[in-house]
Structures are given as structure tokens and as C-alpha cells.
Chain A
Amino acid sequence: MTTAQEVRAAARIAEIEAALGDPADPANPVGQARLLEADEAGELLAAGEKALEALNLNAEFVPVELGGRLERIDTLVRVLRQVFRRDVALGLGYGVTSFMAAVNVWTEGDERQQARLAEILLDGGRASVAYHELAHGNDFVRNEFEARVQPDGSFVLHGAKQVINNAARADAWLLFSRTDDAPGSRSHSVLMVERAGVDPERVTVLPRYTTVGVRGCQLAGLDFTEAPVAAEALVGSLGQGVELALRSFQITRSAVPGMALGGADAALRTVVSFALGRRLYRRSVMEIPHARATLGNAFLDLLISDSLSLVGTRAVHLLPEETSVYASAVKYLVPKLLQETMYELSIVLGARFYVRDGEFGGFQKNVRDLPVLSLGHAGSAACQATIIPQLPRLARRAWFQDAPAPAELFQPRTDLPAIPFRRLALASGKDSLSASLVAAVDELPDGSPEEVAVQSLALRLMDELRQIQEQSLTLSLEDRTALASPASFALADRYTVVLAGAAVLGVWREARADGGDPFLADPAWAAAALDRLVRRLGYQPAALPASCAERVHQELLRRFEEHRSFDLYDCPLAG
């Protein structure tokens, strides 16, 4: 059954694809050739921004109740993926920064603030999220930028924020500010400040930073000198900034990596095209077994990443009490998988990987652009550090005890309830996702060789969870902090791989029950994906039936030829 939410999502994606056109068409004003020129010039492609404005892309970031289109985080990811597919910089620089800022207001802002920010965004304006300070990086509890509280409740802004996307051109800034001199996690607050509400004499835009990737993004700083702003700027309560940040991050950390999958999709498309066209040793590169396997594995990595991203984003709706861990797992593992995929793909593309223009020029741009996903907005290690202290608690209270997740968690096209912004919990004591893995192990079919492979790989992952549980129980106290030993970080890494496996297994089982997508319902891809994850954990599982890789390869070719996306949606593309 196709639901109304699904119809809206598919129609919106078709609309965006039609508007942005075939990236390979040299006459396309927002095609790859123009995007590469803009990148070389360190600019966001003006025609691209115009096209997104005409599409009113900002509406994607505004909840339906406030006049926008935002109803589901997984849909947001799916829609933005079409923009990231063409240009990561445009995705971040036109839009996602505004979403990252806005989530704070949708979570804790009052009615007036929500209405005002919705109005700004729906008018095509931008919001900046000014959280980080160069001096303190991920250790943002020590940030110094001040909003001094005045006796009448108003504030005086003083200090600087650096490396802020769109700082110079945003209409509103979300400022993470110190409102108390005391150390600790109750000394910061979030303020929504409109540019128009600040005396221009009292704020200076600091010079732009140039970067290796997303060169078009306009990263600058803001320096305030004793600038008064009204009491109404405060979002949520005084002293609640760290908490608000940690909760908003759960939504953005779940969402952004899946958007970037679009960039990796484009890169894989480029390399498939190359491998099919280039002839060596009297055959195409695609017929060289190593190249062929590499491309199949890259497709699997995209499916694994999308499964984890799907579960992470749907968990925001369905399991908001558990999202703290899942969001960090998505933000940690997906960018890492995608970057590794890019490296493997670059080997097949060979010397062309180093070329900056023409048919293959988009590839090096994605190699430079995609790492921003692990750098910006909580680094990889900081995401692991969010998971680590929760491991002992999950080990004691959750694993092998919790009830499995609802089936809808794994169904890409099933409706979801509204985003429960206020129910996101700071730390999680439950894990229904891994419980789904444990529960599935006993019920898996074992008719075909592919099904048998899935079963034994799932068993291996469950075993791994058991080991992670044992090791988590023995984590010493200091090993649960940001200063934990490298072994704790390895434990968090392994746990995210198990979660990715649970996501893959869940997606396959639900697709099999549903039957709508014959490829996703086939155990071949699930076996191949789980095999990759189990090998990633350092095991040497039995060789898969050859049919698994063959099925994945055929699907890759079909989607390439029919211009369909390399993710869970098999979505028609403009080129």
C-alpha cells in the first residue's frame, strides 16, 4: 500500500530531480561542469542556489505545523540526498546549516520564535548555527562566547565564533553562549538572534576560511562587542544550552550522514561508467574481477550505510528515548564507511581520480567534500565518546533483555508519527535495535544457501554483541570518559558495526515480508552486506555462495543503466 506520506515524498523527489536535471548534461546550468567551475572559484553555484530557492527547498526544514514540509527525518534525508548527489557544498551551504540551526528552535523555542524562524526560512532566508569556537572544538562546554544576563533579563553579547557556515549572510544566528561564569554543563544557553536586531557597529564578520573541500561554503566568524539583545532571544531556559545542544544533535547527527550518501552515489556512478567504458587486456575494466568486486562492495557499503541511516532517522520518531546512541553510531560509522568506499573506488578509477575537470572531475571533488561529514558537527572520536559511557549501562540493563524494535523501524516507506522533539533523551538505557538482531536469530529462514549464510552471519554478530557486553561490564570508570583508553573507542566502533548489521538484517526481513522490492527481499544482498560487516570485525566467515555477489552486481548494473539510485529506495534519477 502506498501511503500519503510516501506519495508526497516520491513526488517531491521527482520534482527536485526534474528541476536540477541531468548532472552529466553539459548544457545543464546546474550540471556537473558548472558545479566544478563554481568549486574551483570557491563559490556556491549561483544557478544552483536559485534553483533550490525556486523549489523552496527551505520548506523541507520547517515542520508541517509551521507551514513547511518537514514531517519525517528519513524523508528529509532522502530529499536532500538529491542535492548532495550533485554537490555536497550546495547541500550544506544552501540548506542543511539552516536545518541544524532550526532544530534547536523546533525543540525548545517558544511559539513566537518558531513562527518567526519558519517565516524567515519559508521566505528563502538562512539561519546559521554558531556553536563551535576554535579554541575549544568538541569540548564545547568550555566555550567562552558570552551572553551576559542583564538585570532586566536582556543580554549583552560579547566574544567571537569561528568557522560558521553562512555567518556573513544569515538572517538569524543560533548562538551557543555562556550565560554563567561557573564551570560545568549548566552555564550555557542558546540564543536566537536576528541580524537585523543587532547594532551593526557592534558585530564584525571575521574573514572567510578557505577549505580543502566544500570550497563553495562560506565559512566565516562573528565578533560581537558588547552588543545588547532582547530577553526574547533566549531559546528554552537559561542554563539549558548543553542539554538542548545534545538533544538537537541527535536529530542532525542521524540525518546529515545519510544525505551525504548522495555524494557517494554519484562517485560510484562515475566509476561504474568508467569501468564499463574503458577497455584493457581486451576486455572492459568491469570484467577485471578485482574491479568488479570493488564496485559491488561499494554498492553494498551504500546499502549498509543507508540501512543504518534509515534506522537512525526513523528511531527519532519511534524510539526517541534510545536515539542518543543511534545518532552517534550513524554519525560515526556512515561517514567512515563512505570515505573508505571512496578510497576503494579511487583505485579502480586510477589516474583519472586525479583529474579536476571533465567527465571524471566530480570524483576528486567528492573525495575532498565528503570528509567534512566526519569533521564538522562533532568529530568521529567525539561521537564515540558519546557512546562509550553508555555501554556499561546497556550491557547491564539492555542487551539480551530488551524487546525488539517495532517492525516499522526497518520499513523505508511506512508512515511515521510526528517528530517528538521534546522526548529525545540525553542518554539511553535501552537498545531495541540490537534486540531485533537477537530476536531474529531464532526465526531466520534456512532454506536456500543464501539464507543459511545470512543466518550464520547473524549468529556471529550476536556473538559479537555478547563479547561487547562482557567487555563493557569490565570497563573501568576512567575508561568511560572522554579520556578513555583507545580500547574503549575500539569497543564503541565494534558496537556500531553490530548496530549496522542489525539494521541490514531488519531491512531485509521487512522487505521479505513485504515483497514490494524483489532485490531488497532477496537474501543475497543481506548475506553479502553482513559478510562485509563481519569481516570488518576481523572474522573470516565461510565463503558466500557465488550467487550473492552476482545478484548484487546485476542490480548495480541495472540501476546504473536505468538511472536509479544506489540506496534503499531504488529511486528514478534525472541522469
Chain B
Amino acid sequence: MTDTTTTVTTSSAQQHTAESLSVWLVDRIAVYLKRSSDQIDATVPLAEYGLDSVAALSLCGDIEEDFDLVLEPTVAWDYPTIEALAAHILEELSTQAGAA
């Protein structure tokens, strides 16, 4: 299995790191919340910013789309900060790429 602390290459040949995923998530979430990216802290629970349960389910669809991943819809409930979510996506990318 790939070491999740390093980079993961997906079918789209993109290199993902915890940091690039964080940046991607911050951008997405900033749009949801109508704030600028620099107002989002990766260690603060998303619910603190008002991301409700329905919007969180929707976020899962976006991640699936952009990374060609299948996730539990509740992923943003279980990994409530951007930091946690990025780490989880990276792990899933490596598992699901390995399984494919």
C-alpha cells in the first residue's frame, strides 16, 4: 500500500498531497460559505463556519467528482475539519487506487 504521507497519483495523473488537498478544500468551502479563502482555518470544525449537514452531504459529491473517489456521504461529518478531511481523502485515494 502507498504511504499516505507521501504523494498519491490518480488516474488523471494529478499529484495530490495533504497540502494540495487542503488548498482545494479551502477553496471549495470558501465558496459554500461566501467567504474568502484566507478566512478559513483548516483546523476549525466546518460546522463552526455554518456548513450544515445537507451542504456537507453535497461536498461529498464534489470530492467524488473531482477525484474520482467513492466516499461515505457523511465523510464531512466524520472528518469535521479541513485538515482531517484532507488526510482522509489522501488515504482513500491511495486505498482506492491500490484496489483498482
Q: What is the 8 Å Cβ interface bit string for chain B, positions 55-83, against chain A (1 contact, 0 not)?
A: 11110111011000000011001101000
Interface residues on B, range: 20 to 34
Tell me which residues across on chain A come within 8 A of B74, comparing CB atoms. Answer: 185, 243, 426
Tell me which residues across on chain B come within 8 A of A482, comparing CB atoms. Answer: 52, 54-55
- In this assembly, does B28 line the interface, its C-beta being within 8 Å of a C-beta of chain A? yes
The answer to whether A393 and B47 have CB atoms under 8 Å apart is no
The answer to whether B60 and A141 have CB atoms under 8 Å apart is no
Q: Given the complex of chains A and B, what is the CA–CA distance between A388 and B34 in angstroms?
A: 18
Q: Given the complex of chains A and B, what is the CA–CA distance between A510 and B46 in angstroms?
A: 48
Q: Given the complex of chains A and B, what is the CA–CA distance between A386 and B54 in angstroms?
A: 7
Segment 479-508 of A: residues with Cβ below 8 Å from B: 480-482
The answer to whether A184 and B57 have CB atoms under 8 Å apart is no
Interface residues on A, range: 20 to 34
Nearest-neighbor residue (CB-CB) of B62 within chain A? A477
Quote the shortest CB–CB distance from A154 to chain B (angstroms). 25
Q: Given the complex of chains A and B, what is the CA–CA distance between A392 and B65 in angstroms?
A: 10
The answer to whether A426 and B73 have CB atoms under 8 Å apart is yes
Q: Given the complex of chains A and B, what is the CA–CA distance between A386 and B52 in angstroms?
A: 12
Nearest-neighbor residue (CB-CB) of A387 within chain B? B54
Segment 421-440 of A: residues with Cβ below 8 Å from B: 425-427
Quote the shortest CB–CB distance from B52 to chain A (angstroms). 6
Partner among A186, A389, A476, A477 whose Cβ is within 8 Å of the Cβ of B77:
A186
Given A186-B77, A243-B74, A427-B73, A477 and B32 contact (CB-CB distance below 8 Å): yes
Q: Given the complex of chains A and B, what is the CA–CA distance between A569 and B2 in angstroms?
A: 58
Main secondary structure of the interface of A (DSSP, over half): helix
Tell me which residues across on chain A come within 8 A of B78, comparing CB atoms. Answer: 186
- In this assembly, does A442 line the interface, its C-beta being within 8 Å of a C-beta of chain B? no
The answer to whether B77 and A481 have CB atoms under 8 Å apart is no
Quote the shortest CB–CB distance from A6 to chain B (angstroms). 36
Tell me which residues across on chain B come within 8 A of A386, comparing CB atoms. Answer: 54
Tell me which residues across on chain B come within 8 A of A478, comparing CB atoms. Answer: 31-32, 34
Q: What is the 8 Å Cβ interface bit string for chain A, positions 380-395, against chain B (1 contact, 0 not)?
A: 0000011011101100
Q: Given the complex of chains A and B, what is the CA–CA distance between A426 and B54 in angstroms?
A: 10
Q: Given the complex of chains A and B, what is the CA–CA distance between A249 and B62 in angstroms?
A: 25
The answer to whether A426 and B57 have CB atoms under 8 Å apart is yes
Q: Given the complex of chains A and B, what is the CA–CA distance between A182 and B61 in angstroms?
A: 24
Quote the shortest CB–CB distance from A109 to chain B (angstroms). 20
- In this assembly, does A139 line the interface, its C-beta being within 8 Å of a C-beta of chain B? yes
Tell me which residues across on chain A come within 8 A of B52, comparing CB atoms. Answer: 139, 141, 481-482
Tell me which residues across on chain A come within 8 A of B57, comparing CB atoms. Answer: 389-390, 426-427
Nearest-neighbor residue (CB-CB) of B61 within chain A? A393
Q: Given the complex of chains A and B, what is the CA–CA distance between A427 and B59 in angstroms?
A: 12
Quote the shortest CB–CB distance from A297 to chain B (angstroms). 34
Tell me which residues across on chain B come within 8 A of A389, comparing CB atoms. Answer: 54-55, 57-58, 61
Q: Given the complex of chains A and B, what is the CA–CA distance between A13 and B35 in angstroms?
A: 57
Partner among B28, B56, B58, B61 whose Cβ is within 8 Å of the Cβ of A185:
B56
- In this assembly, does A295 line the interface, its C-beta being within 8 Å of a C-beta of chain B? no
Quote the shortest CB–CB distance from A424 to chain B (angstroms). 12
Q: Given the complex of chains A and B, what is the CA–CA distance between A186 and B31 in angstroms?
A: 23
Quote the shortest CB–CB distance from B66 to chain A (angstroms). 11
Nearest-neighbor residue (CB-CB) of B56 within chain A? A185
- Among A185, A426, A482, the one with the most B-chain Cβ atoms within 10 Å of its Cβ is A185
Quote the shortest CB–CB distance from B36 to chain A (angstroms). 14
Given A386-B54, A426-B73, A481 and B45 contact (CB-CB distance below 8 Å): no
Q: Given the complex of chains A and B, what is the CA–CA distance between A484 and B21 in angstroms?
A: 25
Q: Given the complex of chains A and B, what is the CA–CA distance between A481 and B57 in angstroms?
A: 9
- In this assembly, does A183 line the interface, its C-beta being within 8 Å of a C-beta of chain B? yes
- In this assembly, does B3 line the interface, its C-beta being within 8 Å of a C-beta of chain A? no
Q: Given the complex of chains A and B, what is the CA–CA distance between A242 and B80 in angstroms?
A: 15
Q: Given the complex of chains A and B, what is the CA–CA distance between A481 and B28 in angstroms?
A: 13
- Among A388, A393, A425, A477, the one with the most B-chain Cβ atoms within 10 Å of its Cβ is A477
- In this assembly, does B48 line the interface, its C-beta being within 8 Å of a C-beta of chain A? yes
Quote the shortest CB–CB distance from A39 to chain B (angstroms). 37
Segment 373-430 of A: residues with Cβ below 8 Å from B: 385-386, 388-390, 392-393, 396, 425-427
Q: Given the complex of chains A and B, what is the CA–CA distance between A7 and B80 in angstroms?
A: 51
Chain A residues proximal to chain B, CB less than 8 Å: 139, 141, 182-186, 242-243, 246, 385-386, 388-390, 392-393, 396, 425-427, 476-478, 480-482
15 pairs of residues in contact across A and B, judged by CB atoms under 8 Å? A141-B53, A183-B45, A185-B47, A185-B77, A242-B53, A243-B74, A246-B53, A388-B54, A390-B57, A390-B58, A392-B58, A427-B60, A477-B28, A477-B58, A477-B62
Chain B residues proximal to chain A, CB less than 8 Å: 28, 31-32, 34, 45-48, 52-58, 60-62, 64-65, 73-74, 77-78, 80
The 7 closest A-B pairs by CB, nearest first: A389-B58, A184-B47, A183-B47, A481-B55, A185-B77, A427-B73, A393-B61
Given A242-B77, A390-B58, A427-B73, 8 additional A-B pairs, CB 8 A: A183-B47, A186-B77, A243-B77, A427-B57, A427-B61, A477-B58, A480-B55, A481-B32
